[in-house]
């Protein structure tokens, strides 16, 4: 249920921002900036005293207000797909899918040549699959809840709209399990 909600919210945000961009205008005349990024993400999953590190490829899209009272506030959707699994003590762990929706907070006084720092606050859902051959079947569980992190972005080449992006986030945490990740990739600004 939660995974469908996050996926639906991300799709709705992306569709509405893409529609507004295609029309060349924004609702209420808000000046908006759009970013798309792709990044390879290293994850660290700690469960029952073991640590696993499957990797993902994450697609991110966001829209941000660039002027006025809401300057620096935006929305971001993220969707991750597996690149590799991890195995320890005959147990294989794989992230089957990951999605998130964030409110983004960045410095309103950001200039194009500056390092852009963004705080991420939102909700994430991660679907894990575990397989222990001695027990037979694979088990799938989805872990979702409050998620937070940060993003650092710096222009690759002066005058171009490409940015290096380093995103780190805590996707889930409870007494028995934590899911964290850091991704490095490229972002394009519209």
CATH number, domain at 103?
2.40.160.20
Q: Give dist(CA 6, CA 112) in Å, integer.
A: 31
CA atoms within 13 A on the CB side of 38: 3
pLDDT, one tens digit per residue, over 163-189 is: 999 999 999 999 999 999 999 999 998
DSSP state at residue 115: P
* Whether the model pTM is above 0.95: no
> How many folded domains does the chain comprise?
1
Do 118 and 102 contact (CB within 8 A), yes or no? no
Among 82, 55, 80, 65, residue whose Cα is nearest residue 30: 65
Q: Which domain, by its residues, includes 36?
A: 2-189
Is the model's pLDDT at 149 over the cut of 70? yes
Task: Give the pLDDT of residue 162.
Answer: 92
Place of tokens 């850091």: 182
* Contacts of 87 by beta carbon, 8 Å cutoff, 6+ apart: 93
pLDDT, one tens digit per residue, over 64-118 is: 998 889 999 999 999 999 999 999 988 899 999 999 999 999 988 888 778 999 9
* Contacts of 96 by beta carbon, 8 Å cutoff, 6+ apart: 82, 127, 128, 129, 140
Q: Give dist(CA 5, CA 155) in Å, integer.
A: 33
> Dihedrals φ, ψ of 64, to 5°?
-140, 140
Q: How far apart are the first and last CA of the chain?
A: 33
pLDDT band at 133 (very low <50, low <70, confident <90, very high): confident
């Amino acid at each position: 249920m939660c995974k469908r909600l996050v996926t639906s919210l991300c799709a709705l945000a992306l569709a509405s921002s893409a529609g507004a961009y295609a029309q060349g205008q924004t609702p209420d005349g808000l000046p908006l900036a759009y970013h798309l990024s792709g990044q390879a993400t290293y994850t660290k999953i700690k469960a029952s005293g073991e640590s696993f590190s499957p990797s993902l490829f994450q697609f991110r899209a966001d829209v941000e207000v660039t002027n006025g009272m809401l300057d620096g506030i935006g929305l971001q959707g993220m969707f991750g797909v597996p690149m590799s699994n991890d195995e320890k003590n005959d147990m294989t762990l794989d992230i089957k899918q990951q999605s998130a929706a964030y409110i983004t907070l960045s410095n309103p006084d950001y200039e194009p040549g500056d390092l852009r720092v963004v705080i991420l606050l939102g909700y994430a859902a991660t679907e894990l699959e575990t397989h222990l051959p001695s027990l037979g079947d694979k088990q799938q569980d989805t872990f979702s809840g409050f998620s937070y992190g940060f993003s650092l972005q710096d222009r690759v080449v002066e005058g171009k709209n490409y940015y290096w992006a380093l995103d780190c986030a805590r996707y889930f945490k409870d007494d028995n399990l934590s899911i964290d990740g850091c991704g490095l990739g490229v972002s394009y600004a519209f």
